[in-house]
Chains A and B, each alone.
Chain A
Amino acid sequence: MALPLQEPTLKREGELRAAFWEQLESIPGGDKIQNCIQCGTCTGSCPISPWMDITPREAVALFRAGHLEDILHSHTIWLCASCYTCRVRCPSGIMVTDLLYALKRLAMKKKIFPRHFPVHALSETFINNLYKYGRNFELGLGIRYFLRTNATKMITNAGFGFGMMMRGRMALTPKAIKKVREVRAIIDRAQKAKEV
């Protein structure tokens, strides 16, 4: 899979690395990345690695070599389904999944979103729902997501949605929890604190 890579902007490298180490510090045991022996167990275990442009092992190697931009522009961080197989099999105890999450957070912060990988759109819609209702609203999430990304997909998925609706397994209207203000207050207060 050819990847439309951007020219690495070397000026930002140091800044990125600092931000990344900060993220890494917040993962309990995140510093274990230094112990990577490049054995490839993570890649071999990953059910999704065949679709990745940069495999999990390569991502660790690239990071250590200072090519953070390459990983941030890869499909890898957006493809990880967080099944944690790599993490439990890693002989060096590296939390590969949490590492990819940290990279994803960093990419979102830097607004680096590869084309055709609309995971962040789904994520934003989900977060808006949570803030508005305190819970997820599945139908709304689906519709808003497809409108933002690929409206034709809505038609191919309509049969599925209809089947669920017929069996009372899809709500047509969102329902907010009673104390949704509490959830909003918690989100607001937590957002003011620095990411730890």
Chain B
Amino acid sequence: MNYAYYPGCSLEYTGKPYDKSVRAVFAGLGIGLQEIEDWNCCGATFYMSTNKLVGYAVSARNLAIAQKMGYDICAPCSSCYTILRKTNRHFAWNIKARPVINDALAAVNLSYNGKVDVRHPLDILVNDVGIERILDVAPFRFDGLAIAPYYGCQIVRPVYHFDDLEEPMTMDRLFTALGAKVVYYPGKVRCCGGMLMTTQEEVGLDLNHELIRDAEENGAEVIATACPMCQMNLEGYQPQINKRYGEKHHIPIIYFTQLVGLALGIKPKTLGLDTLLIRPADYKLKPKAVEVAV
């Protein structure tokens, strides 16, 4: 199993713990992950809001390089994932877009055939590797850690890919199998507001307040996320949320790959757990053997 790795700009810095943990978990499970050489920004939602075509062409450069490598792309950032997939969809359906994209790529001697699939690491872990294989390899289980699985918007929408658009269960199944207690979390696909935290702080704070309160009221000890933007909003703005609503939230927001990594017995530092703003407690892990005995 090999994938062309597209980290995306967020994972270089703000999402560093995500990057570290994806690499560590993939290595731990023996999945090949080869970074796309000299990849560029996917264009994010910004090109979608000014000049759509330029956005697709910029994003297609990465797809064209992955095509040369001969692998499908693994894109952990939800936004990159959606944009790259959207580029693929337009390449397939929008007959006007294809020649223009390839014409732009021709300026740098690249071309794209539209056949590189874009996958999310959550999808790869659960559907390609499989939960059973992860359980085989992982020496530890969570001792009933209460997790609120937060999927966010962009890995499940707008088009069905690997899980339900409104009630995804991939993370729930994964963590339950790993011995965690997945709490009822109706906010699992509610929007965190994305860049609204910067442009309209009042709206962003309210959306994130709802998400955190929702998780805590349902007894979650930690929120697991699969998106660097959601992680940054939920984690970084808890002090502002507390100030605005007069509450005392202090809940760690952890990437799902970091949790899988812990079960795999990877050191917390290798998973970037020390770089989180809200440091998680040392979670109780128990050896797999105990569970078998019970």
Contact = CB atoms under 8 A, between A and B. Distances in A.
Interface of A: 26, 28, 47-48, 51, 78-79, 81-85, 87-89, 95, 97, 101, 104-105, 108, 117-119, 122-123, 126-127, 129-130, 134-136, 138, 142, 145, 153, 156, 159-160, 163-164, 167-171, 177-183, 185-191, 193, 195-196
Contact of B107 (A82, A171, A185): A185
Given A28-B93, A88-B165, A190-B53, 11 more contacts: A26-B52, A51-B200, A79-B203, A85-B189, A119-B195, A126-B44, A134-B40, A164-B277, A182-B61, A182-B108, A195-B53
Contacts of A85: 153, 157, 166, 189, 191
A159 B53 contact: no
24 contacts: A26-B96, A48-B191, A48-B196, A51-B202, A81-B196, A83-B190, A83-B191, A84-B154, A87-B157, A101-B48, A101-B52, A117-B199, A122-B46, A123-B50, A130-B41, A136-B44, A142-B198, A163-B236, A164-B13, A164-B277, A167-B277, A182-B40, A185-B107, A186-B61
Contacts of B158: 84, 87-88, 95, 97
A27 B288 CA distance: 50
Nearest to A165: B13
Contact of A186 (B14, B49, B57): B57
B12 A135 contact: yes
Contacts of A168: 13, 16, 275
B162 interface: no
B97 A84 contact: no
Contact of B157 (A83, A130, A167, A182): A83
A183 B194 contact: no
B35 to A, nearest CB: 12
Contacts of A127: 46-47, 50
Given A48-B193, A81-B196, A123-B49, A179 B153 contact: no
Contact of B51 (A105, A136, A138, A171): A105
Nearest to B47: A127
B195 A122 contact: yes
A177 B62 CA distance: 13
B29 interface: no
Q: Which 3 A-B pairs have the closest CB atoms?
A: A83-B191, A196-B96, A84-B157
Contacts of A47: 190-191, 193, 207
Contacts of A78: 199
Given A87-B158, A190-B53, A190-B100, A159 B239 contact: yes
The main secondary structure of chain B at its interface with chain A is helix
A191 B46 contact: no
B50 A28 contact: no
B252 interface: no
Contacts of B277: 163-164, 167
B26 interface: no
Contacts of B58: 130, 183, 186-187, 190
Contacts of A169: 13-17, 275
Contact of A136 (B41, B93, B94, B198): B41
B2 interface: no
Contact of A51 (B41, B203, B276): B203
Contacts of A87: 157-158
Given A127-B46, A169-B13, A189 B57 contact: yes
B104 interface: yes
A196 B198 contact: no
B248 to A, nearest CB: 17
B13 A171 contact: yes
Contact of A135 (B40, B107, B198): B40
Given A82-B45, A135-B40, A182-B108, A195 B14 contact: no
